[in-house]
Amino acid sequence: MDHTDEKEVRLKGINVSPGICIGKAYLVGKEGVDVVNKYYISQDNLQNEIKRFKSAVKRAKDKLQEIIETTPEELRQHIHILETHKVLYKDKMLYGRTIETMEKELVNAEWALKQVVSNVKRMFDNMTDPYLQGRAADIVQVSESIMQNLMGAKALDIGAIRKRVILVASDLSPAETSQIQLEKIKGLITDLGGKTSHTGIIARSLEIPAVLGLERATHLIKNDDIVIVDGTAGCVIVHPTDQTLVEFEERQSNYERYKAVISRHSHLPAETVDGIKLEVLANIELPEEVVSVINYGGDGIGLYRTEFQYLSRLQFPDEHELFDNYKDVVEVMAPRSVTIRTLDISGEKGLSYASDPDEKNPVLGLRGIRYCLKNPDVFKTQLRAILRASAYGRVRILFPMISRHEEVLAAKKLLANTADSLDKEGIDFDDNIEVGIMIEVPSAAIMADVMAKDIDFFSIGTNDLIQYSLAVDRVNRQVSHLYQSLNPAIIRMIKHVADVAKNNNVEACICGEMASDPMNLPILLGLGIDRLSMNPQSIPIIKKTIRSLNVKDTGLFITDILKETSETGVMKILMGAYGNILQDTGYKHDKGVLTNLSTGGENSI
């Protein structure tokens, strides 16, 4: 490969879609819409200007409709995302406010649109949640296509790219991403966007390596620069040296080989050497992810995070909309089970239309079940939709952020009332629906024996359980070294919950990120956990690792682990006993550092 003498530059972004690719950069920009002039219009011309705006919206919407109609078969499951964008064109916040601004300030349509969009952006920027930032991106993308039509600028035509390249863009809308032709585009890098952005989701299902959120990629990369995209580690290397190229070519072929082996066996059951079958389920955030759950061999959905549908809009969704959404997922997954978690919002994962911006400590605030119990109408609407969907497959309900027994009782009471009213209306639902709670707050773990009497299953949310138990913010980089899943305190807490579950004959599942790392499996199995739920991509490697473990052995091994007093001690014992197995199942052991090829994560031993 030809390359220049320019210095190698490494950029760190968000690992959105795994895999490695090497190629030439191809920058795509939205020319002509950056500079927007302001001018005033007379009262007489106002209606004409509004008409001009409306017809730009119509043209942008028609173009999107055309994209929807010509979307290739493999992307049909994402039509829903494009449909969401179609609705945004007429959103009050964007459409209504732009017209209002034109009327009030008598300014041109472009200027009014620009003002409205920067206000929306500012509002969303004050919220730290990546979901919300993703939703702001949706609005910006929609507004850009209107702006292109208003200004007569040329729209980005990704479908017309003729070379095998790596796309570099400031941001790509789902409509643009869905036009990517796999034989032309090797990888994708953008300045904006994150893991839960729609663009990220589409990239994952196209299985092209993608690193988003690089901030300055479009400034630092020029057309035809040689670029390496490591979508597994979330890193991009510009002007790689010969040595780096050789290293990454090797990594690339290792990864492809690993992926081929892994996916060949993804549909085999997760059965241990001594014949114990475990359930390996998926965590999803959007209905369209069910396709990848099935492709990756998921036994069902262990955690459907329903916040997304509330966050991607500007007012509460109604029962009908929620029901349609849940029913789609339940029907596609049937007869496999779908665990639907009720709304887990907080000031951080807040709703622009319903959260209190003054909450000082949102993760300890009016979050999850606390919010729902305080807003019974919102809660009941969701419960009705979930119950109605339960008539179409196997649905389980999961309550988040439980910290007190009274919350379980109150939530169940509301569920029973909701079921009663559906019954009276003659609407079908599963009247034996299983009810579970998230164990993600230490008080719930400690009180698990009390909780167990009133529920059918526990779902241990280690993401928050670690955060709350070790008092380590899960998104604060400064303390990320203290965020330890194998800290003895966490292992003991999981043990307590697993023991309580066994003694009370209720199920215990782990649905935090901890479940998706093969390294943790000998310990989780040893603690008696037999259900795991994780991001769909991790399912094959986890099933493969389970097939090489022996539950009886892990049961003996756990007694040694429980004697350890530090995470380092735990790791040492773990590697001594299982280092070889973990290497065989996708970990590359190199100079005391184990690199997980499936996630790119590193664990020192």
Q: How far is the CB of 476 from ligand PEP (least distance, A)?
A: 15
Check binding of 464 to ligand PEP (CB under 6 A).
yes
**Which partner, ligand PEP, Mg ion, none, binds residue 305 by CB below 5 to 8 Å per kind?**
ligand PEP
Nearer to Mg ion by C-beta: 238 or 340?
A: 340
Of the candidates 36, 2, 211, 167, the one whose C-alpha atom is nearest the C-alpha of residue 107 is 36
Nearest alpha carbon to residue 14 among 140, 226, 203, 221: 203
Between 188 and 460, whose beta carbon lies closer to ligand PEP?
Answer: 460
Q: Which is nearer to ligand PEP, 305 or 531 (CB)?
A: 305
Q: Which does 512 bind (CB under 5 to 8 A by kind): Mg ion, ligand PEP, none?
A: ligand PEP
Quote the longest CA-to-CA distance of the chain: 84
In the bound complex, what is the minimum distance in angstroms from residue 464's beta carbon to Mg ion? 4
Interaction between residue 348 and Mg ion (CB under 5 A)? no
Which residue in 463, 548, 550, 603 binds ligand PEP (CB under 6 A)? Answer: 463
600 belongs to the binding site for ligand PEP (CB under 6 A): no
Residue 511 partner contact from Mg ion, ligand PEP, none using kind-dependent CB cut-offs of 5 to 8 Å: ligand PEP
Residue 221 Cβ vs ligand PEP, minimum distance, rounded to whole Å: 33
Site for ligand PEP in 337-376 (CB under 6 A): 344
CB of 81 closer than 8 Å to CB of 288: yes
- How far apart are CB 398 and ligand PEP at their closest, in Å? 10
Q: Which residues within the stretch 444-463 sit at the binding site for Mg ion (CB under 5 A)?
A: 461
CB of 359 to Mg ion, least distance (A): 17
Report which of 464, 415, 134, 144 is spatially closest to residue 303, judged by C-alpha positions: 464
518 binds Mg ion (CB under 5 A): no
Query: Which pairing describes strands 457-460 and 434-439: parallel, antiparallel, or unpaired?
Result: parallel
501-510 in b/e form (b: 16+ CB < 10 A) is: beeeebbbbb
Query: Which secondary-structure segment (H or E) carries 11?
Result: strand 9-12
Q: Which is nearer to ligand PEP, 208 or 366 (CB)?
A: 366
Q: Which of 21, 78, 85, 198 is catalytic?
A: 198
Does the protein bind Mg ion through residue 464 (CB under 5 A)? yes
336 binding ligand PEP? (CB under 6 A): no
CB 519, min distance to ligand PEP, A = 17
Please tell me whether residue 461 binds ligand PEP under the rule CB under 6 A. yes
Q: Is residue 440 at the binding interface for ligand PEP, with CB under 6 A as the rule?
A: yes
Residue 63 burial (10 A CB sphere; 0-12, 13-18, 19+): middle
Site string for ligand PEP, 287-326 (x = CB under 6 A): ----------------x-x---------------------
Question: What stretches of 400-480 adopt beta strand conformation (E)?
Answer: 434-439, 457-460
- Least gap, CB of 401 to Mg ion (angstroms): 7
For the chain, give me the number of helices (H) and strands (E)? 23, 20
Stretch that binds ligand PEP, among 156-164, 422-430, 455-463, 590-598 (CB under 6 A): 455-463
The active-site residue, picked from 21, 235, 509, 511, is 511
Cα(528)–Cα(508) distance, integer angstroms = 9
For ligand PEP, the closer CB: 232 or 462: 462
CA 129, CA 370: separation in Å to the nearest integer? 19
Nearest residue to 497 (alpha-carbon basis) of 459, 454, 552: 459
Residue closest to 519 by CA, chosen among 542, 493, 490: 542
183, 206 contact by CB (below 8 A):
no
Which partner in ligand PEP, Mg ion, none is near 462 (CB below 5 to 8 A by kind)? ligand PEP
For residue 443, the minimal CB distance to ligand PEP (Å) is 15
**Residue 362 · residue 397 · CB < 8 Å:** no
Look up residue 344 and give its two tokens.
Answer: 């887990």
Q: Which one among 234, 393, 512, 540 touches ligand PEP, defined by CB under 6 A?
A: 512
516: left (phi over 0), alpha (psi -120 to 50) or beta: alpha
Q: Choosing among Mg ion, ligand PEP, none, which partner's interface includes residue 517 (Cβ < 5 to 8 Å by kind)?
A: none
Is 511 among the residues known to form the active site? Answer: yes
Contact between 511 and ligand PEP by CB under 6 A: the answer reads yes
Spatial contact of 293 and 284, defined as CB atoms under 8 Å apart: yes
Closest to 495 (Cα-Cα) out of 439, 549, 420, 416: 439
Number of residues that this document lists for the chain? 605
Active-site annotation holds for 509:
no
Query: Bridge-partner residues for 337, per DSSP?
Result: 394
Instruction: Give the residue numbers annotated as catalytic, written as ranges.
Output: 198, 511
Instruction: Give the residues lining the site for ligand PEP (CB under 6 A).
Output: 303, 305, 344, 440, 461-464, 511-512
Instruction: Give the residues lining the site for Mg ion (CB under 5 A).
Output: 440, 461, 464
